[in-house]
A and B are shown apart, each in its own frame.
Chain A
């Protein structure tokens, strides 16, 4: 198993659909992240979960709803998306060390989302 696995790798959905992206990490980490990467733009941090609690939400529209049922799994539930939400959605994990140096981020390969 690779460290961070994302499914599906590709998703096409209409604006009225409801779908979910799934992320699973096999590294024993205690923090998980969702990033969005649009064409020609830097990675944008969307959500951070540390010890299964959401610790950061960077002004993400409510049509994106994260869920972290345990430290190994992270979901991004999608509903009534817009075409401008088409992007590569990347999941990452890390081992948070309180007071220590920054934990290395391990990324999945991403889920390429197209909203029609």
Chain B
């Protein structure tokens, strides 16, 4: 699977928007972009995924660059409960079994 690159850590103030970047310059045309997050002492949870178009759901928005070599996860108003490790993952098959987690971005949210 193609590799992703994320910053090790980011900080945000509560109630501010957060933009978490992910670079995936070797992405193929059939790779989906997935985001998961892992809160302290919990298993990872799905956040959002997309292929080419920007995506929105109740948790976040996913902005995908036109050349698909990068993407940004957008949390519109960060809360303390959003403090977690965020993983950007690519998958080029139709099954979840090919999701390979990297080290992700640790997001700290402060008052």
Please list the residues of chain A having a beta carbon within 8 angstroms of any beta carbon in chain B. Answer: 4, 31, 33, 35, 42-43, 45, 48, 50, 55-56, 90-92, 94, 96-110
Give the docked Cα–Cα distance between A92 and B34 (Å).
Answer: 16
Please list the residues of chain B having a beta carbon within 8 angstroms of any beta carbon in chain A. Answer: 32, 34, 36, 41-46, 49, 51, 91, 93-104
Return A110 CB to nearest CB of chain B, in Å.
Answer: 5
The residue from B34, B49, B97, B104 contacting A50, defined by CB atoms under 8 A apart: B97
In the bound complex, residues from chain B placing their C-beta under 8 Å from that of A98 are 94-95
The residue from A33, A100, A101, A106 contacting B97, defined by CB atoms under 8 A apart: A33
Q: A33-B97, A42-B101, A97-B94 are in contact. Are A106 and B46 (CB under 8 A)?
A: yes
In the bound complex, residues from chain A placing their C-beta under 8 Å from that of B94 are 96-102
The residue from B34, B41, B44 contacting A43, defined by CB atoms under 8 A apart: B44
Q: A102-B94, A106-B45 are in contact. List 10 more A-B contacts (CB 8 A).
A: A35-B101, A42-B102, A50-B97, A55-B97, A96-B94, A101-B49, A104-B49, A105-B36, A106-B46, A109-B43
